[in-house]
Amino acid sequence: MATGNINVSVENIFPLIKKFLYSDHEIFLRELISNATDATLKLKHLTNIGEAKVEYGNPQIEVKVDKDGKKLHIIDQGLGMTAEEVEKYINQVAFSGAEEFLDKYKDSAKDSGIIGHFGLGFYSAFMVAEKVEIITKSFKDEPAAHWTCDGSPEFTLEAADKTDRGTEIILHIAEDSTEFLEESRIRELLNKYNKFMPVPIKFGTKEINDPEHEPATINDKDGKETKEPHKQITVDDIINNPNPAWTKQPTDLKDDDYKNFYRELYPMQFEEPLFNIHLNVDYPFNLTGILYFPKMGQDMNIQKDKIQLYQNQVFVTDNVEGIVPEFLTMLRGVIDSPDIPLNVSRSYLQADGAVKKISSYITRKVADKLKSLFNSNREDFEAKWNDIKVVIEYGMLSEEKFFEKADAFALYPTVDGSYYTYEELFNKIKANQTDKDDKLVILYASDKDAQHSYIESAKAKGYEVLLLDSPIVSHLIQKLETSKENISFARVDGDHIDNLIKKDENTISKLDDDQKKTLEELLKEVVPSDKFMVQLEAMDSEANPFIITQPEFMRRMKEMQATGGGGMFGMGNMPEMYNLVVNTNNALVSDILSTEAKEDKERLINQGLDLARLSQGLLKGEELTNFIKRSYAMIK
């Protein structure tokens, strides 16, 4: 038996490892199973190229809990190690990494999660174990070795009587980590981190129906035919899927395969995804994965079920901000890349050059897939638009390259249910909706019911009205106005329709200057100046006498601030201000002027104003009650 000191000068290395490696000690199991997987896959490679003259077979990794003995076993059938290799890889290489780790991070390393970056994966075992044993037999024809360390720099290394190839790691679980002796806790961790590892992982056994035994038909005591019970057999409980959908070629998968994998990823999701995007690239980096578009609607809240990031089928994180473009964090699915470091902090990932390239690739791939879906089945794409538009519009706002590509598939729906691309919309409305200054005015509504009368006024002029009702629409139209030439968006209730798209023709007012002045004085006395700015307009005599609008700029800034941005304008604290447009050519306005009694004039103005407020949903509470009483009195 050999004894010795591990090649490290820091005497208190293990307490530091325990304290600094991870705030979450559960990660040790992922590390040890990742090592076991590497050892198994390396053996496969060596047998394939003829360097290992052994039968590869069907190796698996086994995890066993010995609660009474306070031990946890991780057993593989991989390469194994000779005593010499244990000395090299366990005692020297890993601890040179440990020294580097401590030198660099001893003051600031807590929670930094950088084990794997320094070759420290195996030593994560000491975060939960007071003693660790390695019993290992190499695929080479050499004796097995038994290494033991109790968390001090001292170790023992002796021959072992293990005869089968591979490595068994035995963790003597520490008193403060006994949760890892509970089978339910270990199963939870295996499901979290190792659900799709490429080598089968056995965790106990389970009873299943014997597939080779067909239950016979028998007669019960009353003579009725019945089936005898299924014969049960005991089999290994393999808790992972070593060949998940994303590791296969898209040509080998059907729609049902993608849907079944979605259910495997998110067992508590009962709604089918709308469609998926299969990622598969091997240059200039390696990346595979499947992204799913869930039904989004208007909901921009961060969902519980997120995109999962893997490295060679080992779960890394589901906190993918900075790795996946922000607008795609609303999607679900899996991304797997060996080029993403397994155990590094998110800030390190975000600064990593390979990760930035991956982010750009995913953006491009998603845009290409959306274009393909739009081109291959436009009708289906239009039907799904309301469920995917928030993701696409957010992408147009946040990623310039995505914005450029989105012209090919981003849709602009109208209040009548037609869908246009930007180019189609431009060509459709250019002749009719260009104003006297040669600017194209794109009209839109955000609520078909609330803005119905304004929509009808626009349609009477032959104008198209878009229905843009997502929560980020104000930001989006701002982006479009600055990116497209000589256009502006105007919400259909932002002003009288003739003011929204000003043409050369002027409507002559039926009132002379004196009458206008008298009318202004009357309105000033009745209309609250803290809420309304009055403007007299000569419009079509059939247009309403009183029309309430809200200035486009002010309303848009308030909306933008409500969804992030626009705060510099300080709109959030400003009172709601509206324009009251009074149509000087409407018969009611002439009636107000010709009415003798001042009280009757005021009553007509209030009634007209309240009707306009009612159409905008601005009449509430006591004012609404008074309006109803007054209206009934007028009917009498």
Angle, CA of 567, 568 and 570, to the nearest 5°: 70
Highest mean pLDDT among 113-117, 337-341, 350-354, 584-588: 584-588
Q: Does residue 301 carry a pLDDT above 70?
A: no
Which residues have CB under 8 Å from 483's CB, separation 6+? 403
Q: Does residue 79 carry a pLDDT above 60?
A: yes
Annotate 244-271 with three-state secondary structure. Answer: CHHHCCHHHCCHHHHHHHHHHHCCCCCC
**CA distances (Å), origin 163, targets 46, 58, 63, 408, 507:** 20, 18, 19, 64, 101
pLDDT of residue 95: 53
pLDDT of residue 114: 39
pLDDT of residue 394: 92
231 vs 384: which has the higher pLDDT? 384
pLDDT of residue 93: 54
219 vs 325: which has the higher pLDDT? 325
Q: Does residue 563 carry a pLDDT above 80?
A: no
pLDDT of residue 409: 96
570 confidence band (pLDDT: 50, 70, 90): very low
pLDDT of residue 348: 57
Inter-residue contact 332 to 294 (CB < 8 Å) = yes
Inter-residue contact 599 to 585 (CB < 8 Å) = no
Q: Is 31 annotated as a binding residue?
A: yes
Q: Is 346 annotated as a binding residue?
A: yes
pLDDT of residue 550: 76
Which residues have CB under 8 Å from 169's CB, separation 6+? 32, 36, 73, 74, 75, 125, 132, 133, 134
Query: Mean pLDDT throughout 340-363?
Result: 68
Inter-residue contact 333 to 291 (CB < 8 Å) = yes
Which residues have CB under 8 Å from 15's CB, separation 6+? none
CA 91 to CA 8: how far, in whole Å? 9
376-398 b/e (C-beta count within 10 Å ≥ 16 → b)? eeeeebeebbbebbbbbbbbbbb
**CA distances (Å), origin 109, targets 104, 349, 542:** 8, 16, 74
- The helix (run of H) or strand (run of E) holding residue 125 is none
CA 7: distance to chain centroid?
45
376 confidence band (pLDDT: 50, 70, 90): very high
Angle, CA of 442, 443 and 445, to the nearest 5°: 140
Token readout for 413 is 């729906």
495 confidence band (pLDDT: 50, 70, 90): confident
What type of residue is 291? L
CA 332 to CA 394: how far, in whole Å? 16
pLDDT of residue 568: 41
pLDDT of residue 113: 39
Q: Supply φ then ψ for residue 105, to 5 degrees.
A: -125, 10
Highest mean pLDDT among 119-133, 146-160, 283-297, 348-362: 146-160
Inter-residue contact 51 to 154 (CB < 8 Å) = no
Considering only 500-509, 548-557, 559-568, which range has the smallest mean pLDDT? 559-568
89 confidence band (pLDDT: 50, 70, 90): confident
Report CA Rg, the chain: 36
Q: Is 12 annotated as a binding residue?
A: no
Sheet of 578-583, strands arranged across: 532-537, 578-583, 546-549
Quote the percentage of the chain above a pLDDT of 90.
Answer: 37
Q: Is 81 annotated as a binding residue?
A: yes
CA 343 to CA 127: how far, in whole Å? 16
Q: Which residue bears the tokens 């901000």?
A: 321
pLDDT of residue 352: 65
CA 437 to CA 501: how far, in whole Å? 10
Inter-residue contact 54 to 41 (CB < 8 Å) = no
Q: Is 424 annotated as a binding residue?
A: no
Query: Mean pLDDT throughout 438-458?
Result: 91
Q: Does residue 100 carry a pLDDT above 60?
A: no
Sheet of 487-491, strands arranged across: 465-467, 440-445, 487-491
Which residues have CB under 8 Å from 187's CB, separation 6+? 203, 239
What type of residue is 532? F
Alpha helices in 292-408 (DSSP H): 346-351, 353-376, 378-398, 400-406
pLDDT of residue 247: 94
pLDDT of residue 439: 92
What is the chain's mean pLDDT, rounded?
83
pLDDT of residue 72: 97
Count CB atoms within 10 A of the CB of residue 537: 18
Q: Does residue 343 carry a pLDDT above 70?
A: no
DSSP 89: I
Considering only 109-118, 366-375, 443-452, 546-555, which range has the smallest mean pLDDT? 109-118
- Comparing CA positions, the residue from 122, 144, 148 lying closest to residue 133 is 148
Q: Judging by beta carbons within 10 Å of its beta carbon (0-12, 13-18, 19+), is residue 588 exposed, middle or buried?
A: middle
Q: pLDDT tens for residues 44-62?
A: 888 888 888 888 889 999 9
What type of residue is 452? H
Q: pLDDT tens for residues 607-627?
A: 888 888 887 778 888 888 888
120 confidence band (pLDDT: 50, 70, 90): low
pLDDT of residue 7: 55
Token readout for 447 is 């609520």
Q: Is 289 annotated as a binding residue?
A: no
pLDDT of residue 105: 47
